[in-house]
Amino acid sequence: MKSSRVSDRLEELRRSRFVGRDREQTLFQSALDEAQLPWHLLYIYGSGGVGKTTLLREFAYICEQAKTPVVYLDTRNVEPSPDSFFSALQMVIGLEHQNQLWEWFASQPGHCVILIDTYETLTPLEDWLREFFLPQLPENALVVLAGRQPPSSAWRADPGWQALMRLISLDNLNPEESRTYLTKRQIPVEQHSSVLNFTRGHPLAISLVADVFAQHGNIHFRPEAAPDVVKTLLEQFVQEVPSPLHRAALEVCALVRLTTEALLCETLAIPDAYELFNWLRGLSFIESRLQGIFPHDLAREAISADLRWRNPERYAELFGRARGYYCKRILQTQGSELERALFDYVFKSPQVRQFFIWQDNNLLTDTLRESDRSVLMEMVATHEGEASAQLLAHWLARQPQGVLVFRQSEEGTPLGFMMMLALDEASLEDLQVDPATQAVWNYIQQQGALQLGEKATFCRFWMAADTYQAVSQIQSLIFIKIFRHCVTTPGLAFIFTAIAQPDFWELFCTAANMPLLPETSFEVGGRRYGVSAHNYRVSPVFNDLLELPAWAIAIAPPGEGEIRQGKGIPIPHSSLPLPNSPLSQSEFASAVHQALRDFVRPEALLHNPLARSHLVIERAGTNTRAAERIAALQALLQEAVESLQRSPHEAKFYRALDRAYLHPAPSQERAAEILDISIGTFRRHLKAGIVRVTEILWHQEIDRLEN
């Protein structure tokens, strides 16, 4: 007798808990029952956690029962390229060579089915799938695509696919289906109403409630009233884990892209995380991949949101520990591993994460070839015009070594590129040819000319051939390349990036501590471009990496989340020492940030390092009394903040700083309400304002030291 495998038991358990989706099953079964398939594509879409993968597994079971060959492919880890797609199919089917794939399809006597899960990861490949792969399949092939987004207009506008495609918009389970599931999970009938009122039929939420009952027995389920149902559910679940250490492990898992035992050991400061890792892996909403484990997207968002609301100090602590872990990896790795570490670092910030699409198997990054020049010129002309293309030609002749080209394969044509200009190596004549380089070079001179060994880099051109500067795999890879350049270039004083749509990218630039500078914007061919920048003289790169800025946490720890009013404590009439030794740029930046937070608390300003800076002492004169020093420091801060009003672009930063520090509201939330902006926008403006005020004061301090 043949013994059963673990996979057989898994499949049996999964099927035993499957409920509902009768309409979807009937539609699928009806197609298989026809001698000739009535349509060849079934497109399923729905939000995360709604049960798309579970439905595909049920389709696979239907095929097995009908003796219909079926292939299941999860494209989560498949690079969106024809070769990778073919290789993945070939591996799943068990073929040795790619050319056997079409033979395999043709050899099937009846229908055959291809189930493709996580289809949203193949978006860059959509045209190829629609125009080449699917039309080449034999008439007996039925393809099922399951993803989060509805089909693009290209599918719906094609008369052929209109006739040969069926759509399924997957929604929550209805009450009857939900009750059936709860019964299968042995949830007491008297608890069904409260559970259904709480989950509203969302499959993942119902599954998590069932896990709570499975772990804690016949509890009395009383969900708290809250608009975010799943967040409240996970709040209760996280509080009922086996131990505080288990809860911390789950919270860490929600904060990072992929969790490993090594990461748990580092962030939780424990020598062995084997048991915790296995516990996490066994949870119903945790998924596994080659590099580690991760929670379902909806669960991730709910857990992290719950932690930020429930314990912001703990959120900040875990966030900081994870940041430290990734900083170590950034220092210890190189090449593709370094880029993966940089992406993992970026992933921790929800504000930044939305601007990235990451694929583990990246595109080929190559240097410039002679045959690429005309392709890149045409690419720029298409998206930016002939004037911009001529400027590219100028820089290709001067600094061809600054170009990185992205291809699908070694022999492929460029799908995108980026050009990093070394401004410190360019002649003044070359810099003046291009309005962009002229603008940023003028800015550098205003900040203080480059010193011996200092470097300044300008990402002058960057784009994907088809999507230009929109969020895409190529755009994401370009940003990681810029990030990598910043952390691996010794002596980097300035980094600049040209931005074609500054309004769209402003949030990202501010969150990434590379705000848009209005004085560096430029015009080419009648089109206005923005420029984001960072001054590493003021804030070195690894200080930025290790810093825990206010925008990184939804509710900041005490001192950031709550802006306190001054209590009018009198300043002692004592004396302060003469100027201390010059502060480093990072020390100065930290002191400015703390001084702004303490602006209305003069007793706290008394101990700020800026109170003994040359900048303050020159303002206060020779008088070393504390009151005069504090008054001078307050005046300098206020002048720097108010100077932002003179720029239309930076006026919003002034308003945020004013309501946060100069004339503080009771809380940041209240400050945002007064300014009639969202709390996220308020924090972004506040962050950018702090950077600008720091730059202003730092250069004042440097001028006094040099004079």
Q: For the segment 607-621, what is each residue's pLDDT rounded down to a tens digit? A: 788 887 777 877 776
C-alpha 277, offset from chain centre: 24
| 278-293 average pLDDT score | 79
- 661, 599 Cβ separation under 8 angstroms: yes
| 329-358 average pLDDT score | 66
Given a cut of 80, whether residue 135 has pLDDT beyond it is yes
Highest mean pLDDT range out of 193-207, 264-278, 360-374, 622-636?
Answer: 264-278
Given a cut of 80, whether residue 696 has pLDDT beyond it is yes
- 492, 455 Cβ separation under 8 angstroms: yes
Distance CA 190, CA 187 (A): 9
pLDDT band at 442, cuts 50/70/90?
Answer: very high
| 482-502 average pLDDT score | 89
**Which amino acid would we find at residue 136?**
Q
Distance CA 444, CA 156 (A): 51
Tokens of 477: 């890879």
pLDDT at 415: 93
Quote the pTM value: 0.47
Distance CA 699, CA 484 (A): 27
DSSP state of 131: I
- 210, 187 Cβ separation under 8 angstroms: yes
How confident is the prediction for the chain on average, in pLDDT? 80
pLDDT at 556: 32
| 44-60 average pLDDT score | 84
Q: Is 517 helix (H, G, I), strand (E, B) or coil?
A: coil
| 479-500 average pLDDT score | 88
| 86-97 average pLDDT score | 87
Please state which of the ranges 77-81, 246-250, 564-568, 657-661 shows the lowest mean pLDDT: 564-568
- Residue bearing the bigger pLDDT, 706 or 587: 587
Task: Report the half-sphere exposure of 695 (CA within 13 A, side-chain side).
Answer: 23
Given a cut of 70, whether residue 550 has pLDDT beyond it is no
Strand order through the sheet with 364-367? 364-367, 403-407, 416-422, 455-464, 492-499, 527-535, 522-524
pLDDT at 434: 96
**Which amino acid would we find at residue 447?**
Q
Location of structure tokens 């402003």: 506
Instruction: Label residue 410 exposed, middle or buried (CB < 10 Å: 0-12, 13-18, 19+).
Output: exposed
Give strand ranges (E) for 445-549: 455-464, 492-499, 522-524, 527-535
pLDDT band at 239, cuts 50/70/90?
Answer: low
Distance CA 97, CA 317 (A): 51
pLDDT band at 424, cuts 50/70/90?
Answer: very high
**Which amino acid would we find at residue 242?**
P
Among 252, 496, 460, CA closest to 376: 460
pLDDT at 574: 35
| 382-411 average pLDDT score | 94
- Residue bearing the bigger pLDDT, 442 or 213: 442
Write phi, then psi, for 567 (nearest 5 degrees): -100, 5
Over residues 309-338, the pLDDT tens digits come to: 677 778 777 877 877 777 777 766 666 666
Distance CA 276, CA 151 (A): 40
Given a cut of 60, whether residue 89 has pLDDT beyond it is yes
- Residue bearing the bigger pLDDT, 401 or 329: 401
Given a cut of 90, whether residue 561 has pLDDT beyond it is no
- Residue bearing the bigger pLDDT, 705 or 78: 78
pLDDT at 68: 92
Distance CA 519, CA 505 (A): 17
Write phi, then psi, for 662 (nearest 5 degrees): -75, -50
Question: How many angstroms separate the most distant Cα atoms in the chain?
Answer: 98
Please state which of the ranges 61-70, 188-197, 329-338, 385-394 shows the lowest mean pLDDT: 329-338
- How large a percentage of the chain has pLDDT more than 70? 80
- Residue bearing the bigger pLDDT, 159 or 459: 459
Distance CA 641, CA 481 (A): 33
- 199, 206 Cβ separation under 8 angstroms: yes
**200's torsion region: left (phi>0), alpha (psi -120 to 50) or beta?**
left
- 348, 567 Cβ separation under 8 angstroms: no
Tokens of 245: 């250490």
